[in-house]
Amino acid sequence: MAETNKPTTSGASGEQIKPASPFKAIFPLLAIIVCAVIAHVAFYKGFGHYSNFKNGEKLQQDYQAWVDAGEVGEAPPTPQSQEPANNYGLVYKGGFVIPIGMTLTLVLFTFTIERGITISRASGKGNVDVFVKKIRNLLAKGNVDGAAQLCDKQRGSVGNVIKAGLRKYKEMEVADDLEKDQKKLAIQSEIEEATMLELPMLERNLPIVATTASLGTLVGLIGTVLGMIRAFSALGEGGAPNAAELSVGISEALINTALGITTSALSILVYNFFTTRIDGMTYAMDEAGYSIVQTFDIRN
């Protein structure tokens, strides 16, 4: 019977490539679901707690007594239908769109931490620019083994790419069946291949961060529109305008606007920060790869 689940090897470097973890594929979905549950529990059980509304304790007791009695008549007002006593109650008055916005905020927070840890590990130990400068100095002296040892100490994505290029460098030094241009092309191809293998890991889940920027604004806009509809409905009622309904509608509109804009702004900042770091690492890979090819061209 044929064996299964064997580690595969890359044709260029011969190193074993570990199979992708299934958890990485389902982690985004699980994280979003957990964030949604936390947001809804916090909104309805935390912000919607009776203590956050005026006369909340008395109304809560009246409502519970009505439930226990099992009466069929009209239910007494719930605490949540009254004016808020603090900012938590005011947020609750923002309506059912608020927990959706809170979910997006929690998703942003979760993936900011996840990407921060991943990219920090990918950067390796120490400053990347200093590391690349040391690599170039060692290559200028022809110390390929020393550069490889430095990659082992640095680790990270940049170190992995440079080490792959150095490994191919040493292979091409003893490859007598290839022309010099072919050897240089093989080294360059190995570096590009290693870079392409590292980039997906660096950019994973960044589209989710970018999506929260757009969805944050749209969700906030939906909440704003619904709040304004409620406000104008209060104005459109016969007789004197209902000040309570009017204030609730305006509060719903403004709270959703604030939450949506804040989430969107933070998402843009986080996304640009991470993409800038990834671009810097990619530039370092390209710079070191160019030095490896140039060193081979000069010394062979």
Percent of the chain with pLDDT over 90: 27
Q: Write down the number of H helices and E strands in the chain.
A: 10, 2
Mean per-residue pLDDT for 90-107? 91
Residue 29, both tokens: 């979905």
- Tell me, what's the pLDDT at 6? 44
Return the pLDDT at 15.
45
User: Rounded CA gap, 5 and 44, in Å?
Assistant: 47
Six-digit token pair at 151?
């990659």
Which residues have CB under 8 Å from 270's CB, separation 6+?
Answer: 108, 112, 115, 209
Residue 133 CA to residue 152 CA, distance in Å, equals: 16
- In this prediction, residue 244 carries a pLDDT of 63
pLDDT at 110: 95
Residue 249 phi, psi dihedral angles, 5° rounding: -65, -45
pLDDT, residue 72, reads 61
pLDDT tens digit sequence for 252-261: 788 889 999 9
Q: Give yes or no for residue 8 having a pLDDT over 50.
A: no
137-157 pLDDT, tens digit each: 888 887 888 888 888 888 888
Distance of alpha carbon 89 from alpha carbon 127, whole angstroms: 47
Amino acid 53 reads: F
Please tell me the predicted confidence (pLDDT) of residue 3. Answer: 43
Each residue's pLDDT tens digit, 169-221: 888 888 788 888 888 899 899 998 998 988 888 888 999 999 999 999 999 99
Q: Are 47 and 92 in contact (CB under 8 A)?
A: yes
pLDDT at res. 207: 93
What pLDDT digit, counting tens, does each position of 235-288 carry? 766 555 566 666 666 777 888 899 999 999 999 999 999 999 999 888 888 888
Helix (H) or strand (E) holding 16: strand 16-17
Q: How far apart are CA 26 and CA 33, in angstroms?
A: 11
In the structure encoding, which two tokens stand for residue 248, read together? Answer: 């609730």
Helix axes 156-173, 180-203, angle to 10 degrees: 160
Query: For residue 20, is pLDDT > 60?
Result: no
Q: What is the pTM of this model?
A: 0.81
Indicate if the alpha-carbon torsion angle 215, 218, 222, 224 is positive or negative: positive
Which tokens sit at 80? 């949540």
As a whole number, the mean pLDDT across the chain is 83
CA distances, 189 to each of 91, 225, 285 (Å): 56, 54, 13
Q: Residues 85, 94, 100, 79: is their CA dihedral positive or negative?
A: positive
- Whether residue 7 has pLDDT greater than 50: no
**DSSP H helical segments within 175-242, as ranges?**
180-203, 206-236
**Given this model, what pLDDT does residue 292 score?**
86
pLDDT exceeds 60 at position 40:
yes
Tens digits of residue pLDDT in 46-82: 998 888 888 888 888 887 887 777 766 677 777 777 8
Boundaries of every domain in the chain: 23-92, 96-300
Which residues share a beta bridge with 53? 84
The closest alpha carbon to 267, from 205, 223, 204, 214, belongs to 214
User: Which has more confidence, 185 or 8?
Assistant: 185
